[in-house]
Amino acid sequence: MSLWVSAALLLAVFGTSTLSGVFGMAGGLVLLGILLAILPVGTAIAVQGAIQIVANGSRAFMSRAYIDWKILGMICLGLLVAGIILFIVRYTPDLTTVCIAIGLLPILVWIPKSWLELDASKPLHAFFCGLLGGGLNLAVGVSGPTVDIFFIRTQMDRRKIIATKATTQVVSHAAKVVFYWNAAAVLTPLEWGAIALAAPFAIAGTSAGHWILQRLTDANFRSWTRWIVTAIGIFYLGRGISLLI
């Protein structure tokens, strides 16, 4: 990476961490799009995972009093099963598939509750949240809308949602880094240094987002989440279709 690319990456990490700090998602979608523009697919997914561990980890720490550990345990079990399946089939991502899959994910947040009643507070639902969300995170690099649909319709308040989702994502992103470790190995020590330098920017962005979250109502939180994720999804879908053409 050049000096200018590294500087732009640091600013992107701060901005996307702020976005995730407010809505618990969306930031990772934007950051992955930026990384896909400068790195191979597998490497971009691994790097995004490494950065998101810091961003989500700091958010989880700030909200640790609200983490629901029972839900987290079932989600991790589902993630483990998804990882084993992808390892057995020797899955390898490609840019077109990744973009189209991410572009279609926002459809999930618009499905009426009466059509698909999912609730992460129920053990079986939490397991499938880990299986589907964790599987998608490993396969295409993000899973925000998939995980979100299991949380946003629960009776949990926004702080408990943010805390539990953030902790879930820390585990999921760590699994992603391990899964794509060989792809990440192509980075030079200097490039890893730039990524390590992004850590304080991720924490600062998360702190800013956490401050905004405390001043946001539950109704506004749910409404804005849908529209922001949908806008990002349209961008990814457009890019995926252009690659096909």
pLDDT in tens, 118-152: 888 889 999 999 999 889 889 988 876 678 778 87
Per cent of the chain over pLDDT 70 is: 91
The pTM assigned to this predicted structure is: 0.78
Mean pLDDT, rounded, of the chain: 82
Q: Picking from 49-58, 127-136, 140-149, 216-225, which range would have the lowest pLDDT averaged per residue?
A: 216-225
Identify the sign of the CA torsion 231, 28, 135, 243.
positive
Model confidence at 175, in pLDDT bands (50, 70, 90)? very high
Flag whether pLDDT at 31 surpasses 60. Answer: yes
pLDDT at 138: 92
pLDDT at 216: 67
pLDDT at 131: 94
Q: Torsions phi, psi of 194, nearest 5?
A: -65, -40
Give 192 or 92, the one with higher predicted confidence: 92
Give 217 or 240, the one with higher predicted confidence: 240
Flag whether pLDDT at 84 surpasses 90. Answer: yes
In 3D space, the residue among 66, 6, 58, 2 whose CA is nearest the CA of residue 27 turns out to be 58
Distant-in-sequence, close-in-space partners of 157: CB < 8 Å, separation ≥ 6:
218
Residue-level length of the chain: 245
| Domain ranges within the chain, ordered by starting residue | 3-244
At position 175, the amino acid (one-letter code) is A
How many whole angstroms from its chain centre is CA 62?
A: 18
- For residues 173 and 51, give the distance between their C-alpha atoms in angstroms, rounded to a whole number: 9
